[in-house]
Amino acid sequence: MGGKPLLTIVGPTAVGKTGLAIEIAKLMGGEIVGADSRQIYRQMDIGTAKPTREQQAQIPHHLLDVVEPDDNLTLAQYQRLARQAIEDIHQRGRVPMLVGGTGQYVTALVEGWSIPEVAPNEALRQELEGFAAADGAEALHKRLQNIDPTAAANIDYRNIRRVIRALEVCIETGQPISELQRKNPPDYDMLHIGVTMGREALYVQADTRIDMMMADGFLPEVQKLLDRGYNRKLPSMSGLGYAELTSHLLDGVQLDEAVSRTKHNTHDFIRRQYTWFRGHDPGIMWHNMQTDRFENLLEMITRWQRGLS
């Protein structure tokens, strides 16, 4: 021991991380640092399941509403902002809690990735996007495999944006991104909590949440973004639900079909999240929301806190 505390709470979408984290934060003097690559966007609240104003009033939240939907926040920028937020929380004698389902955000921070600062090259990105559109995502991924097999092995070929970013870094620097991403773990005393539940129950919970989002105004939120000129090709607009509802609004896809696709794609996303957590497990203590008692989780966190002093 000896480092400053950092509690991480990870898990798939719709599992209940936000509510659980708020209850823990109340009891341990914590503040929440977001680790969600969609909740960083302003104007995108319902579809990203952003903590409500009421929830944010209960516990301070950091790294929500950081950029506009047409802005780009690199992983290196996120990492720097998260470190600044954690340091600020430490200085005030509170406990930082890194909470979210974007595994890359969490892993980059807790493993101390050294992320190359390479500015976006829009012309190159458009060229690579065009190649993917013409030849397919797998062909694009093959190009990355040829120049950086290590990076390719860690990136799903369907995640075209990440494949393009890896290619961009390789081409711009002349070095594989995997070699540039050296690790220098921060000096934190960390406790890693994973939130989970049975897969079928989680799918039902995710579907129910999507229905609630629709009732709360998800479709008008997407319409408003389009009316303000945000292009459907923006990374922000490729988020779960946003892309599918945009297809309804612009392409005439039936609303029921768009919602059904959102649910299907959310299930697929949940599977990919679990794959990431399994592959980047720093010693996660899993808490099953269906079967495990909150009191037992709290006792474990309390023991960890006592051990820090």
Percent share of the chain, pLDDT over 90 = 85
The amino acid occupying position 27 is L
From its phi and psi, is residue 177 left (phi > 0), alpha (psi between -120 and 50) or beta?
A: alpha
CATH topology of domain 5-113+190-222+265-308: Rossmann fold (3.40.50)
3-state secondary structure of 7: strand
pLDDT in tens, 84-113: 999 999 999 999 999 999 999 999 999 998
In the CATH hierarchy, which top-level class contains the domain 122-180? mainly alpha
CA distance 100 to 119: 26
Cβ atoms of residues 206 and 14 within 8 Å: yes
Per-residue confidence (pLDDT) for residue 63, from 0 to 100: 98
- Amino acid in the structure at residue 165: R
DSSP conformation class of 70 = T
| 161 vs 77: CA distance, rounded Å | 17
Residue 210 contacts residue 263 (beta carbons within 8 Å)? yes
Which band of pLDDT confidence, cut at 50, 70 and 90, is reported for residue 2?
A: low
Edge-to-edge strand ranges of the sheet holding 188-196: 61-62, 30-34, 95-100, 4-10, 188-196, 285-288
* Domain edges within the chain: 5-113+190-222+265-308, 122-180
Q: What is the pTM of this model?
A: 0.86
Dihedral of alpha carbons 63, 64, 68, 72, sign:
positive
Using one digit for the tens of pLDDT, what is the confidence trace for 16-30? 999 999 999 999 999
